Amino acid sequence: MLNTRITDVKDINLDHVFQCGQCFRWDKVDDDIYIGVVKGVFAKITLKGDLLDIDATGNLNWNEYLDLDRDYGEIKAELFKSEESMKEALEYGYGIRILNQDLWEVLVSFIISQNNNIPRIRGCVEKLSEKFGDEIYEYDGKKYYSFPDAAAIAKLDIADLDDIKLGYRARYIIDAAKQYQMESCDCDLEQATNWLISFNGIGPKVANCILLFGMGFHSAFPIDVWVKRIMKEMFNLVGDKSINEFAKMKFGEYGGFAQQYLFYYFREKKI
């Protein structure tokens, strides 16, 4: 195991990072200790005060993955300045960081997320990895697997996914794997959006999640059932178009951060 120690970390709370709904493969094993698999690497992350200790089976740029080089204090200050009613959400999710995740894993995970709930999404992603990923490590009697790459999924028959219980999304995932193998997108926000929408099973909401969590477009503002409730409740806004315009005007480049603080706060409080 490789150990990485990162000192003087700020604005981070592991529960907020891993339970705010952006990722599906991290498990809490104790207070401020999580284990998970990232980009083929098994890792155990421990936070002690402002010290981050990471034991991992391989090399990974943890500063990048955990977005540690970004000043979240500044982001929260800016969001509060532009919208003071964000105060409670910003304080509640004070330790959120938007992870820089693997694009392919995010793409598949959020195809699965449509019309689905988080525990079941997690289960599907886990089963996909167990069945089609590579065994990486055994921890506390449990085996951990990498997320299968597009090539591994592309060669499957639809029936191979029966055990995963993806429902009608199984077809989308196999099609996505085939398309993803042939296409890539090193491009701007508009081109990336169009590229994502062109996948069967990816619409505007899922596309925005992928833009935000897998492609580093932090202005992306995913609008799901929760955000719709929040926008109605806080700003009496209805309809994707008006919500989009509001987010763009109000939060601008920080739209994705704002969305995540709001989503996490309201979903946890079940307002």
Shorter beta-carbon distance to DNA: residue 94 or 139: 94
Question: Per CB under 7 A, which region of 52-60, 70-78, 125-133, 197-205 contacts DNA?
Answer: 197-205
What are all long-range contacts of 118-124, with beta carbons under 8 Å and residues at least 24 apart? 118/21, 118/24, 121/24, 122/24, 122/25, 123/165, 124/164, 124/165, 124/166
Using CB under 7 A, pick the residue from 205, 235, 244, 268 that binds DNA. 205
Over the range 23-42, which residues count as b (16 or more CB within 10 Å of their CB) and which as e?
bbbbeeeeebebbbbbbbbb
Binding residues for DNA restricted to 126-145, rule: CB under 7 A: none
Does residue 17 interact with DNA by CB under 7 A?
no
Does residue 118 interact with DNA by CB under 7 A?
yes
Does residue 66 interact with DNA by CB under 7 A?
no
Using CB under 7 A, pick the residue from 66, 75, 174, 227 that binds DNA. 227
Shorter beta-carbon distance to DNA: residue 6 or 185: 185
Binding residues for DNA restricted to 144-183, rule: CB under 7 A: 162, 165-168
Using CB under 7 A, pick the residue from 58, 95, 204, 216 that binds DNA. 204
Does residue 101 interact with DNA by CB under 7 A?
no
Q: Least Å distance between CB 5 and DNA?
A: 29
Using CB under 7 A, pick the residue from 69, 119, 141, 236 that binds DNA. 119
Closest CA to 164 of 175, 153, 155: 153
Does residue 267 interact with DNA by CB under 7 A?
yes
Using CB under 7 A, pick the residue from 3, 31, 49, 115 that binds DNA. 115
Question: Per CB under 7 A, which region of 4-12, 16-24, 132-140, 243-251 contacts DNA?
Answer: 16-24
Binding residues for DNA restricted to 27-56, rule: CB under 7 A: none
Closest CA to 190 of 211, 209, 216: 211
**Interacting residues with DNA (CB under 7 A):** 20-22, 113-121, 162, 165-168, 197, 199-207, 209, 222, 224-227, 241, 259-260, 263, 267
